Chain A
Amino acid sequence: MLLIFEQFLNGLQIALLLFLLAAGLTLVFGIMDMVNLAHGSLYMMGAYFAAVFTEWTGSFFLGAALALPAGALLGIVTEIIALRTLYTRDHLDQVLATFGLILFFNELARLMFGAGGMTIETPNWLQGQIEILPGLPYPSYRFLIILVGLLCAAFLYVLVQRTRLGMLIRAGASNREMVGALGINIKQLFTLVFGLGSALAALAGLMAGPVTTVQIGMGDNILILALVVIVIGGIGSLPGAFIAALAIGIIDTMGRAFLPNMLGAFLSPSDASTLATALSSMLIYILMAAVLVLRPAGLFPAPGR
C-alpha cells in the first residue's frame, strides 16, 4: 500500500512537471492558434541555464532565480524574432518552422555547453529524505518539486480565473478577433503570455535537471508528452491540461513501476522491464487516440472554439 502511495507521488511529480510545460503550450496555442514545437527547447535551455548559473553562483536557488528570467527572456526574443510572422500561417508552416528551431536549439546547446550533459547540484538539505507520513520516507527534493508544482498550478488558477490578465487570456482563447476588436493589444498580450509560458517551461526544466541529467534533446520527448496532454485536455484549457497531465503522469509511473512485476511472472527481468516501459508509453498514446476518437476536440475544449 505504501509502495503504491509512493509511486503515486512519483507520478504526481512527473504530472506536475508535464503540467508546467503544457500550461505554456496550451495558452500559446489557445490564444494565437500557434503550434510551438520549440517549447521543449525552452525547457532544455532552462535546465542548462540553471546548471550554468548554479555552477557560477554556487547556490542552486540563486541559479534557479537567475535561470527563470533568462528562460523568459529567451522565449520572448524567440517570439519576436522567429515566431511572430507565423501566427497567420497554417499549422503545417508552424510545425515546420518550430521543428527548425528545435534543431537549432539542440545544436546551440551542444555548442555552448558540450555534448556530455551537465548535472545540477542541489543543496545538502535537499538530498536527504523526509518522512511525509509515518513510515513513509520520501526524497525531499522530489517533495519540493511536488510543492512548487502545486503552488504554480494554484498561481496559474488564480491568474487565469481571478485577474484581468487572466480574463483577457480566456477571452483570447475563445475568440481572438473579438478581443482585438474590443481594443486589446493582442500582440502585446501574446508576447506576455509567451514569456510566462517560457518561464514555466524553464522552471520545469530546471526542476527536472537534478533528477534526470541535463542533456541535449531532453526537451524533445517530454514535448511530445506535453502535446499529448494539451490535446487530451482540450486546447486552451488549463484545467483540462491539469487533469490530462495527472492522468498521463500517473499512468506512466504506475505502468513502469508495476508492470515489470506482473510481466515478470512470464518473462526474464530485463525483458519484462523493456516490455513494461514500452507498454506504459504505448498506454499514453492509446489513451490519447481513444480520447480523440470519442471527443475530437479534447476533454475540455475552450468555449466557443
Chain B
Amino acid sequence: MSSASNSSASTATSSRLTFVVGLALLGFLGLIPVLSVVFDDPFLLTLFTRIVIMAIAAVSLNLILGYGGMVSFGHAAYIGVGGYTVGILAFHGVHAAWIQWPLAVIISGVVAALIGLLSLRTKGIFFIMITLAFSQLVYYLGNGAFAYGGDDGLNIMTRSDFGGLLNLDNRPTFYYLCWVILLASIYFVHRTVNSRFGMVLQGARSNDRRMATIGFPVHRYQLTAFVIAGMLCGLAGVLTATFTGFISPAMMHWSRSGDLIVMVVLGGMGSLFGPVFGTVAFLLLEEVLSSWTEYWKIVFGPILILVVLFARGGIDGAMVRGQACTLLAGCAAFFLLYGIHTTYEDQWLIPTLILVAACALAWFAKWEIQRRKNRHD
C-alpha cells in the first residue's frame, strides 16, 4: 500500500500537509473537554474518550502493520489482556494504579512476546491466521475464566487509584490523561520509526530476505516491534477498562481486531497520524450512521469495500496525492449524512464543528496545491 509511485519531492511537501492537519486534529482533540462544557454536551466527552483510547490502540497496530508490514489479525487480544489485568487486580482489591498499570503493560508484553515468537515463524496469510488463532485462544481464555465472570464479563467497582495525584473519576482529567498518552505514543512511534531500529523494521517490510542478507537479525527486530506494539495496545486496554469500568471477552472478539485493522488502513498505513485520522473517521462514522439507522452496517460495509478498492493509502494517502477533491467529497458526504441525521435529532454542535473542520481542511489543501504549483512554475 505504499505510495511508491510518488516522487520523493511531492511526498515531502505533502507529508507537511499531513503533519499540519494531524497536529491540528490532535489540538482539536485537546479542546474536546472545553467544548463539552461550553456546549453542555457530556456525550461529546464520552464519545471522544473512546476515540482517543482506540486511537492509541490503532497507533500501536500501525507500528507493526504499517511500518513493519506484519498484518496482525489479533491485536484486540492485548486490549483484553490489559483490561483483564486491571479488572482481575481490582477484583482482588488491588487498586493502586502504580501496580495495576505497569503490571498490565508488562503482562501484555509477555503475551505479545509468546505470540510473536511463534507467529513470526510464518509469513503472509499464515501470519494473519496464526495471530487470529492466538487471539481466539486469549478470547476463549476470557470466556472460560468463570471466576471472573466468564462470558458475562466483570464489573470494576473502583477505578484505578493514583494516590492524590490524579482523580480518574473526574472525566476531563481522565480524558486529558488519555490524550497525553496518545500524544506520547505518537511521538514515541515517530522516534522509533526514524531510528536505526525503525529503518531496519521498514527495510524488512520491503524485503526481509535482503535485510537478512545484509546481516540484520530481522526476526529479532520484528519480534521487538511486535512486543512494543503489544505493550502499547495493552495500555489502551487498561484505559478502556478504567473508562468503562467493565471487562468482558467481547472486547477481544476477532471482529474488534478487524475494526482496528480497518482504522489503520482507513487512515493510512505507515503514516504517523494515519491511525488517528482513521480512528476518528471510523468511530464518528459509526456514531453518525448508527444514530441515523439501526442498520448502519449495511452502509458501513460497502463504504469499507469502496475505501479498499478505490482509496488506496487511506485518508493520509489522499492527502499525500493531493486529492483534495476526494477528501472534500468525503467530508461533504459525511456532513450530508449528519445533516440528514440531525434533521431528526435537532442537534447542531457536531455538524457545525465538522463543517468548520472541513472548510479549514479545504482551505489548507487549496493553499498547499497553489504553493506546489507556484514552485513548479
Cα–Cα, bound, A278→B136 (Å) = 10
Closest beta carbon of chain A to B148's beta carbon, Å? 11
Query: In the complex, are the beta carbons of B308 and A282 less than 8 A apart?
Result: no
Residues in B neighbouring A171, C-beta threshold 8 A: none
Closest beta carbon of chain B to A113's beta carbon, Å? 12
Q: Which residue of B has the minimal Cβ distance to A280?
A: B140
Residues in A neighbouring B122, C-beta threshold 8 A: 292, 296
Asked if A99 meets B134 with Cβ closer than 8 Å, knowing A91-B71, A278-B140, the reply is no
Cα–Cα, bound, A207→B261 (Å) = 33
Query: In the complex, are the beta carbons of B261 and A103 less than 8 A apart?
Result: no
User: Chain A: interface residue count, which band?
Assistant: 35 or more
State how many residues of chain B have any CB contact under 8 Å with chain A.
44
Asked if A285 meets B140 with Cβ closer than 8 Å, knowing A97-B305, A235-B125, the reply is yes
Query: In the complex, are the beta carbons of A296 and B134 less than 8 A apart?
Result: no
Interface string of A250-278 (1 = CB under 8 A from B): 00000000000000000000110011011
Closest beta carbon of chain B to A297's beta carbon, Å? 7
Residues in A neighbouring B125, C-beta threshold 8 A: 35, 91, 231, 235
Closest beta carbon of chain A to B169's beta carbon, Å? 33
Query: In the complex, are the beta carbons of A293 and B129 less than 8 A apart?
Result: no
Q: Which residue of A has the minimal Cβ distance to B65?
A: A92
Cβ of A119 < 8 Å from any Cβ of B?
Answer: no
Interface string of A269-305 (1 = CB under 8 A from B): 0110011011101100110110011001110000000
Residue among B1, B126, B298 making CB contact with A292, cutoff 8 Å: B126
Cα–Cα, bound, A275→B144 (Å) = 5
Residues in A neighbouring B298, C-beta threshold 8 A: 103-104, 107-108, 111
Query: In the complex, are the beta carbons of B132 and A99 less than 8 A apart?
Result: no
Residue among B126, B144, B151, B297 making CB contact with A296, cutoff 8 Å: B126
Residues in A neighbouring B295, C-beta threshold 8 A: 107, 110-111
Cβ of B215 < 8 Å from any Cβ of A?
Answer: no
Residues in B neighbouring A188, C-beta threshold 8 A: none
Cα–Cα, bound, A91→B304 (Å) = 15
Query: In the complex, are the beta carbons of A278 and B144 less than 8 A apart?
Result: yes
Cβ of A101 < 8 Å from any Cβ of B?
Answer: yes
Query: In the complex, are the beta carbons of B136 and A224 less than 8 A apart?
Result: yes
Residue among A106, A281, A293, A298 making CB contact with B136, cutoff 8 Å: A281
Most chain B CB within a 10 A radius of its CB, from A224, A235, A289: A289
Query: In the complex, are the beta carbons of B305 and A100 less than 8 A apart?
Result: yes
Residues in B neighbouring A93, C-beta threshold 8 A: 1, 308
Query: In the complex, are the beta carbons of B301 and A107 less than 8 A apart?
Result: yes
Cβ of A185 < 8 Å from any Cβ of B?
Answer: no
Asked if A103 meets B304 with Cβ closer than 8 Å, knowing A275-B146, A285-B136, the reply is yes
Query: In the complex, are the beta carbons of A271 and B146 less than 8 A apart?
Result: yes
Q: Which residue of A has the minimal Cβ distance to B296?
A: A107
Closest beta carbon of chain A to B367's beta carbon, Å? 33
Query: In the complex, are the beta carbons of B126 and A99 less than 8 A apart?
Result: no
Closest beta carbon of chain B to A97's beta carbon, Å? 4
Which residues 64-110 in A have Cβ within 8 Å of B in the complex?
82, 85-86, 89-93, 95-97, 99-108, 110
Closest beta carbon of chain A to B151's beta carbon, Å? 8
Query: In the complex, are the beta carbons of A85 and B300 less than 8 A apart?
Result: no
Cβ of B203 < 8 Å from any Cβ of A?
Answer: no
Query: In the complex, are the beta carbons of B71 and A92 less than 8 A apart?
Result: yes
Closest beta carbon of chain A to B228's beta carbon, Å? 21
Cβ of A227 < 8 Å from any Cβ of B?
Answer: yes
Query: In the complex, are the beta carbons of B301 and A103 less than 8 A apart?
Result: yes
Cβ of B163 < 8 Å from any Cβ of A?
Answer: no
Interface string of B250-283 (1 = CB under 8 A from A): 0000110010011001000000000000000000
Residues in B neighbouring A102, C-beta threshold 8 A: 301
Cβ of B130 < 8 Å from any Cβ of A?
Answer: yes
Query: In the complex, are the beta carbons of A285 and B144 less than 8 A apart?
Result: no
Question: 10 more A-B contacts (CB under 8 A) besides A86-B308, A104-B297?
Answer: A97-B308, A100-B308, A103-B298, A224-B132, A228-B129, A231-B126, A274-B150, A278-B140, A288-B129, A296-B123
Chain A interface residues (CB < 8 Å from chain B): 35, 82, 85-86, 89-93, 95-97, 99-108, 110-111, 220, 224, 227-228, 231, 235, 270-271, 274-275, 277-279, 281-282, 285-286, 288-289, 292-293, 296-298
Leading 9 A-B pairs by shortest Cβ distance? A278-B144, A104-B301, A100-B304, A103-B301, A107-B298, A103-B297, A100-B305, A100-B301, A107-B297
